[in-house]
Amino acid sequence: MFDQAMARIAGRFSRVEPRAAARSYLLGLLSSVERKNCWQLAEQAGLPRPGPMQRLLRYARWDADTVRDDLRAYAAEHLGTDGGVLVVDETGFLKKGRSSAGVQRQYTGTAGRIENAQVGVFLALATSRGRALIDRRLYLPKHSWSNDCDRRTAAGIPETVHFATKPRLAQEMIEAALDSGITAPWVTGDEAYGQDPQLRAALEARGIGYVMAVACSTRVRINHGRTLVRADTVADRLPATAWQRYSAGNGAKGPRYYDWAWIYTGTGSHRHLLIRRNRSTGELAFYICWSPTEVPLSELVRVAGVRWSIEECFQAAKGQVGLDHYQVRHWTSWHRHITLAMLALAFLTALAADAAPERPADTHPPVRSSDSITLTVPEIRHLLTAVFHPPAVTATRLLHWSNWRRRHQATARRSHYRRRITSAPTG
């Protein structure tokens, strides 16, 4: 099945060398190697130098966006799109220095605080068969990058790339997915995207329903549009009978039950404010919802619950296929590594989906002591490691790579020392 996945993108590489390097790179991402950067992936592949891997990411002639298109089609083919949900979210990549494309001190949920980081906006496709990342955009801060020609040139940022807000990047990815034939009827995202009226308007224009998280201070219209109030004020006024208990999907410990209420907020359209209440803490969450046709509360709850699937994608992509293990600064190199990591994750997800028994999404069959859970992405990667193991590692090869790394590190250290000495004040 790996050969079939590789065959989908093989035509994107006009020469045999980068095609072979891409295959080795993907196998390295699927391996158990500790850090999935060019050095360790080259060692894993049995290469004497990291050069082929570095050229694949930086200089080889291939277009990461066309491979992304193949990845998107591959995910849709194996996961299906019936009842699918497109999920938008961002994740951070902590970095040192200021040369990596798009890096600056900014808030990232990865660290939970302001850190020096790159931020990528991602789109995931989630269906009853699984979920996979299908598109990505590197966020380019406006003042520190978009308007700095020297930094842009040094990082290889194309002249055609201009500043765009994160919701705008999300809109571009959603529209590209829909234009490519993805038929997901729903979109969901967190407050950063739910608060953007242009994104919501663009989805409505295409007839795509959404369940988007918003802040408690969001103002909504009730009483047939006559009254404008805060969302949390609406929640405070609801009677006990307004709340219904539904599961937002299965978690690690079983169904995730919350209390839910919905309030009609539109005139002549299917608009609602959806409110989720934690049964233990009473904490509230709010969602703005729109659908082209009438849907039940249970469907809005389902879509709201799917939003967390992209967090699972980030966790799997970083933990299993090295999404954040790259050591590159260039705009092109970032997109190439991220795309190949997304493809590796989609491959694992497709294997898991094909291995899972067909079962209605809402059923919770009893688990007997003799049962086992279905194959997971980490378990499949563990099994693949045994299948795609490298040739026997000899002491000579281990020593070769040890010597190469230490020589390279010594060269880098001399360069750093020389730069420090040259720039040190005299007096």
Give the pLDDT band of residue 388 (cuts 50, 70, 90): low
Instruction: Give the integer Cα–Cα distance in Å for 42 and 208.
Output: 44
pLDDT one-digit tens code per residue, 32-65: 888 999 999 999 898 989 999 999 999 999 999 9
**Would you state the structure tokens that stand for residue 151, as one six-digit string?**
């930094």
**Would you state the structure tokens that stand for residue 205, as one six-digit string?**
């224009």
Nearest to 231 by CA among 242, 220, 241: 220
Instruction: Please count the other Cβ atoms lying within 10 Å of the Cβ belonging to residue 299.
Output: 17
pLDDT one-digit tens code per residue, 175-191: 999 999 999 999 999 99
Looking at residue 46, what DSSP letter applies? T
Instruction: Give the integer Cα–Cα distance in Å for 240 and 43.
Output: 63
Q: Are 75 and 349 in contact (CB under 8 A)?
A: yes
pLDDT one-digit tens code per residue, 111-170: 889 999 999 999 999 999 999 999 999 999 998 999 899 999 999 999 999 999 999 999
CA angle 94, 91, 204 (to 5 degrees): 155
pLDDT at 370: 47
What average pLDDT does range 338-366 have in this prediction? 79
Q: Are 182 and 84 in contact (CB under 8 A)?
A: yes
Q: Is the pLDDT of residue 295 over 80?
A: yes
Q: Are 27 and 46 in contact (CB under 8 A)?
A: no
pLDDT at 390: 54
Longest dimension (CA), the chain: 79
Give the pLDDT band of residue 373 (cuts 50, 70, 90): low
pLDDT at 367: 47
CA angle 11, 100, 20 (to 5 degrees): 25
Beta-bridged to residue 230, according to DSSP, are 219
What average pLDDT does range 244-252 have in this prediction? 87
pLDDT one-digit tens code per residue, 68-126: 999 999 999 999 877 899 999 999 999 998 999 999 999 988 888 999 999 999 999 99
Q: Do the strands 130-138 and 209-214 form a parallel or antiparallel pair, or are they unpaired?
A: unpaired
Helix 51-58 to helix 16-29 angle (10° resolution) is 100
Residue carrying the six token digits 């069959």: 365
**Would you state the structure tokens that stand for residue 242, as one six-digit string?**
């307004």
Give the pLDDT band of residue 221 (cuts 50, 70, 90): confident
Instruction: Give the integer Cα–Cα distance in Å for 253 and 248.
Output: 13
Beta-bridged to residue 397, according to DSSP, are none
pLDDT at 117: 95
Q: Are 339 and 71 in contact (CB under 8 A)?
A: yes
Q: Is the pLDDT of residue 292 over 50?
A: yes
Looking at residue 325, what DSSP letter applies? -
Q: Are 249 and 306 in contact (CB under 8 A)?
A: yes
Q: How many residues does the chain have?
A: 427
